[in-house]
Amino acid sequence: MDDKSLQILSYYYIVMNDQLDKIKEYVNDVAYNGKNEFSLNLDKIIDSEFEKAFEILDEFDIIKYLEEKYNMNYEKPKLVILENDLSFTAEYSDFENKISFSKKSVDRKIDKQLEYLGYKEIKRSISDIKGIEYLDISYNSIFLYPFYINEKDIRKAIAEAIILSIMFHEIWHSIDFSILRKLVGDSSIKDMDYFIILKNLELRASAFEVVIYYLANGFHNDERGYIAAYRNILTCREFIDKLERKGDIYTDVPYDIGFCYGNIIVAKYGPSLKENIYKIIDNIIHLNKEKAIDEIKLYGDNPEMLLYD
Ligand SMILES: [Zn+2]
């Protein structure tokens, strides 16, 4: 990495950490006990984020684009909400074409984020925090994820951000399986290719989740949003280094690598994410781990390539 690249990355890193510090300071000022009176109606939120996710996919004609391209009829999955399952947060069943969400797991995730942001419990509906905050979406590394508060209760804002993001991930699985089913009928695809395609399900879903989450929220047009992507790229580059040092690059880490790839796309396209969304989705459909790692190395080592005028 040359000096200029380092300077650019250091700049984003400092801006980002400075913002986080300010947020934490502020949040600590308003922290207090009394969570119960603010417990959320998660059924309602999960239901409405499910509908919202499809409205956004419609708005950008994403399903229509893929239906035409692959000559397929996509069937919207059913949504099932579970009370107490802690073995997963959400999952997609291709067999039943069903997305399941566990309320208890979502609740735990919200608590984890509140703690990360410096809350213990919440005093009241915090209607005076405006603007943006950052979730810590950790798999094996710490990734930051922007979300808007916009005069909402912080717990509700976090819930909506987490649920919408995961919703896109699960919906992608359902879209992906529709495409795969179509490809099964294509005799030009060999058995080995199916194996490669099936192997990268989580990689693709995680990459799609990030890209569409940014697009849905308009973070591609908000510098405070996509600086999080720049910052994550640094983490991603270190993550790949660590895997390589351990001789571990082939270990199964599809969520992390997919998330990193999504962040590269967000940083690479910035405000032109929307105009390029079909091309980006085509690339995600053909994404494999090696391609994703190549991109992470390329842009991680040459971050100046990510800056646009
Ligand atoms: Zn998944």
Q: What percent of the chain has pLDDT over 70?
A: 76
Q: Number of folded domains in the chain? A: 1
Work out the average pLDDT over 248-272: 87
Q: Which residues contact 199 (CB under 8 A, 6 or more apart)?
A: 288
- 173 Cα–ligand 1 center, Å: 7
Closest CA to 224 of 56, 25, 18, 6: 18
Residues, beta carbon < 5 Å, ion ligand 1 = 202, 205
169 alpha carbon – ligand 1 mean position (Å): 6
Q: Which residue has the higher pLDDT, 154 or 258?
A: 258
On the question of pLDDT at 38 being above 60, the answer is no
d(CA 236, CA 257): 8
At 58-115, the pLDDT tens digits run 999 999 999 999 989 999 999 999 998 888 899 999 999 999 999 999 999 998 888 8
User: For residue 33, what pLDDT is reported?
Assistant: 37
* Whether the predicted pLDDT of 158 surpasses 50: yes
CA distance 71 to 60: 18
- As a whole number of angstroms, the distance between CA 41 and CA 52 comes to 16
Cα 80 to ligand 1 centroid, rounded to whole Å = 16
Give distance in angstroms: CA of 135 to centre of ligand 1.
19
Query: Cα(182) to centroid of ligand 1, in Å?
Result: 20
C-alpha–C-alpha distance, residues 168 and 137, integer Å: 15
Owning domain of residue 92? 3-306
Which of 94, 97, 63 is CA-nearest to residue 79?
A: 97
C-alpha 90 – ligand 1 centre gap (Å) = 8
Distance in Å, CA 121 to ligand 1 centroid: 30
- What separation in Å is there between the alpha carbon of 142 and the centre of ligand 1? 19
- Ligand 1 center–CA 224 separation, angstroms: 28
Q: What is the pTM of this model?
A: 0.84
For residue 2, name the pLDDT band (cuts at 50, 70, 90). low
Give the C-alpha separation, 67 to 53, whole Å: 17
The pLDDT confidence band at residue 245, using thresholds 50, 70 and 90, is confident
Tell me the CA–centroid distance for residue 204 and ligand 1, in Å.
9
Give the distance (Å) from ligand 1 centre to CA of residue 167. Answer: 10
- Distance between Cα 156 and ligand 1 center (Å): 24
Q: What dihedral do alpha carbons 115, 117, 119, 122 form, nearest 10°?
A: -110
